[in-house]
Chains A and B, each alone.
Chain A
């Protein structure tokens, strides 16, 4: 049986797709959202570190199924290996309704005005495709506000002298520091830094009919047992469905975007939960499947007219794959500095985000999410035993005595860090899988060294008896903060979409996830993905009559 034609298809029910679905559905458009995963269910996603989004060593509680969704990783020497979320090197984003917003740490950062103008602020960087966004902070500000109020953010910018200008405060009061947060924030203040509470997509007070956060020890990597963490699965997606205009088709794997000889897209081909192939037609298709899977879909959708895939006439799809070069330092204290009040990270500071001598961009620093027992087995000072009596003794004595400061360093995008289609490996349904290749720009590691030394200074000031740096910024990019593979820009020769996420040359095809990001800023990306979703949704609804008449 064929599916009923709808106005809009959205592929991916995560941060971007969920927001756009709601914007379109409440404006009366008929929408089908495709999600390859299922609805999240707390009872299935119990507090089990080994299947949590933090480790995935025994599989991903939030998807995807590691047996059905392989990828290929290409090493610098050209070796190709099949990878899964279990083996590592996969760059997984959760596959379920809500995607990463179900199990994330929920930091609700606005980017800074400079983050949208990296090239005009810092100039060109050799070997990098660093560029300004076609969108400014001012363009996005009203949509940040909308995301904060509709999805729900707790925070208070007033103690952050570097805060991006805002018209309205965040809707809920900020969270209190945990024990370690208080000690480290005090140390920051003594050093003349400006610590403040991290804005969070969690409820500090009851909000939108759901309860306040209970400071669960296991938060990031897990679903919330009281539903006090705000994602698209418990906010905008239910709102979209309540209109009666939005259907969410779960366990459906989209294989390709279909287009006609005139170059317009007509719908998608997909496999349902019983692995049967179907087509769904629509007047418009919006891809929000993550920076890796959105690029894969564009590249896999080839026709005579688009032999290199949709939007890929100039070979920019899949390029500039970015993430965050996480870096920082750890400190060992001679008393129990952590109390495990979840999620752990409570304060941050933006003194190192921009305008530091010799640094291009930078990153915020904040205290770490609570240590999980297995992950903590890898947190040791350099030279410490990796097994045996000494290793075990460190674990038992110090899991409460270790604190860290870490942050996401803004990566310098480069053309060769990319997603491409593997010529041989196929997924469970026979769809060609994506290959990840390239590596971070050499400047990333240098900037990580700098930020790690700043983190170590704070830990020393806080009275740590031993400190050590954990310096990132090397190797394959991507990861959970994956971005950049369908860059937005004003020039079709050097970008994939225009400033509204509309694919150049294909009027009824849009992208609405972090694939659009020109640069990734030194902040967690989710609030910016949501804000862009609101902006794209508004653009589509206000132009729907003219778009529809031409499709």
Chain B
């Protein structure tokens, strides 16, 4: 009786487990650890607006900021998973409703204008029901800055490209010989 009951429970858990895995299977078709392909396309465009390619050099896309955020969302930023999913989804809702296009295919000026509204919390409330839009954008800004200006080993700042733009030594020069006036 006891054994039967345990087996029943096991089967039940296994069945429930496989149901739970279904969305994860869909996610696995994405090359990302956390994002779906569609989520990633949207976020790549968003991050590129936060740090765009310009005369100084490449922006968030080239630096691989998406990989920084993706990697950290299944590690130390796991508590931010929900706000990322909800925020990206709400941004697409706003974009589709206002411009009839997904965010990543809008032209750059329209993306910028839309994000200015997001920054001040002025996108339609009905698209952002239960999602704090200002908080979401602040989080994306912080994480984009970290991915672009932090160490490449965390997934972004490919080949220390931001350090090259700032004229900082990379890897760090350890020694005092380059401070001529101090010797």
Contacts and interface: CB of A to CB of B under 8 A. Distances in A.
A59 B154 CA distance: 12
Contacts of B144: 387
Contact of B172 (A217, A374, A391, A400): A217
A215 B145 CA distance: 27
A62 to B, nearest CB: 16
A374 B181 contact: no
Contacts of B52: 388-389, 392
A340 B182 CA distance: 12
Contact of A217 (B51, B59, B169): B169
Contacts of B142: 57
Contacts of B50: 387-388
B167 interface: yes
Contacts of A399: 166, 168
A377 interface: yes
A376 B150 CA distance: 11
Contact of A341 (B150, B154, B172, B182): B182
A373 B54 contact: no
Contacts of A58: 72, 76, 146, 150, 154
A184 to B, nearest CB: 16
Contact of B166 (A216, A373, A389): A373
Nearest to A86: B76
Contacts of A49: 149-151
Contacts of A86: 76
B175 interface: yes
A74 to B, nearest CB: 19
A378 B54 CA distance: 20
A373 B179 contact: no
Contact of A50 (B49, B54, B115, B154): B154
A269 interface: no
A535 B141 CA distance: 49
Interface in A143-197: 176, 178-179
Interface in B6-33: none
Nearest to A46: B151
B176 A214 contact: yes
A357 interface: no
Contacts of A373: 149-150, 162-163, 166, 168
Contacts of A460: none
Interface string B26-69: 00000000000000000000000111101010010000000000
B56 A396 contact: yes
A387 B49 contact: yes
Contacts of B173: 217
Contacts of B151: 46-50
Contact of A392 (B56, B154, B181): B56
Nearest to A397: B56
B1 interface: no
Given A59-B76, A373-B166, 17 more contacts: A47-B151, A50-B154, A57-B146, A58-B72, A215-B179, A218-B172, A340-B168, A341-B179, A341-B182, A377-B149, A386-B119, A387-B51, A388-B50, A389-B52, A392-B59, A395-B166, A396-B56
Interface of A: 46-50, 57-59, 66, 86, 176, 178-179, 214-218, 225-226, 339-341, 373-374, 376-377, 386-389, 391-393, 395-396, 399-400
The 7 closest A-B CB pairs, nearest first, are: A373-B149, A377-B145, A50-B150, A387-B50, A48-B151, A396-B56, A341-B179
Interface of B: 49-52, 54, 56, 59, 72, 76, 112, 115, 119, 141-142, 144-146, 149-151, 153-154, 162-163, 165-169, 171-176, 179, 181-182
18 contacts: A57-B142, A86-B76, A176-B182, A214-B176, A218-B172, A373-B149, A373-B162, A374-B145, A374-B146, A387-B119, A387-B141, A387-B144, A392-B51, A392-B52, A392-B56, A395-B149, A396-B165, A396-B166
